[in-house]
Structures are given as C-alpha cells and as structure tokens.
Amino acid sequence: MKFCILFIASLFLKSVFSPGLYDISIELIDGKTIQMDSYKDSKIVILTFNPAKPDVKQFNYLDSLQKNDKSLRVLAMPSLNMGSTVPISSLQDFKKKLKLDMDMAKPVNASKSTAAGQHKLCKWLTNVTENSHFNNDALETGQLFIVSEKGTLYAVLSAQVPRDVLLDVIKSVPVE
C-alpha cells in the first residue's frame, strides 16, 4: 500500500513539474514561437546539428521525406554544444538557399552537460525521466530523434544511419 501511494505521488509530481512533449515551445529562426503540440498526430524527426557545419545532404534528404509524407514533420535544432555559433541570419540563408520546408529552431543548448541549462525539448529527448524510454545525450551532429504520432520517443539514431534503415524506422509503427 505504501509503495502504491509513493508511486502515484511520483507520477503526480512528474506531471506537475516535468513538461510533456506537447507542453514545450520552440523559438524558430524566423522569429516565430511554436508549441510542440502543433506537431500532434504527426511523426516527428528532430535533428540536432552543428550550426557552423550543417550536412547539406542530410538536410536535403530529411526535407524530401517531409515534402513527400504529409504525416511527417522535421525539426532542425542547431546545437550550441556541437561547434561554433553562427548568426541566425546564416541559418536563415542556409534554409532559404536549400528551399527547406522543415522548421528550424534558434540555436539551443542540446547537451545535458551544458552549464547554461539544457533546452526543455532537448531535456525531454535525452532524459528517461522525461520521455520514459531513452537516457542518452545529444552530442553528435546529425543525431536524429524519432517521435511517434502519439508523442512517444521511439528511436535515437546516429547521423551515419543508412537511409534505408532511417526510412524503415520512420515507417515503423512503435508499440505504445
């Protein structure tokens, strides 16, 4: 009985103090702020990357996936922990030059080890106490986090993942 009460209390405290995925807001490079709940009912691919050295091929591929699948949304998160910072105008120019439809956030602290504080979305992505599945860090440029239509983080992939494997993971139906 005591364990049951403690378990229920811990769930309550988690729901009060820990934002869920859809409670998080993101500032984009175009000056808009979006709520993650605007991605509800879509699969989400979240890409963390070095803003000074974005991988053009990876961006073009992910954007083509989003353009060809209306149930898929891609969010690019430039990480201040992965290299040099660049002006937001450079990111805007990059996005415009490649004609990317994906959303791109303003640069954030993606890593857990950030003294200035990890961004709320990155904290959700990298902490099992937040996402209930994975406990790792956003340290690799090009790292991909895959979220289901129901808001469940179900895959964390390296930038080197073969395209066919990435496509299979995106098309898979996670057990929720």
Note whether residue 95 is domain-resident. Answer: yes
> What are the residues facing 27 on neighbouring strands?
33
CATH of the domain at 122: 3.40.30.10
Backbone angles phi, psi at 137, to 5 degrees: -125, 160
| Angle ∠(47,160,102) on CA atoms, nearest 5 | 25
Note whether residue 4 is domain-resident. Answer: no
pLDDT in tens, 105-117: 999 999 988 756 8
pLDDT in tens, 20-30: 999 999 999 99
pLDDT at residue number 116: 67
pLDDT at residue number 113: 83
Domain of residue 164 covers 20-171
Which parts of the chain sit beneath pLDDT 50? 1-18
Note whether residue 60 is domain-resident. Answer: yes
pLDDT at residue number 11: 38
Number of separate domains in the chain: 1
Helix (H, G, I), strand (E, B) or coil at 57: helix
Residue with tokens 């364990």: 3
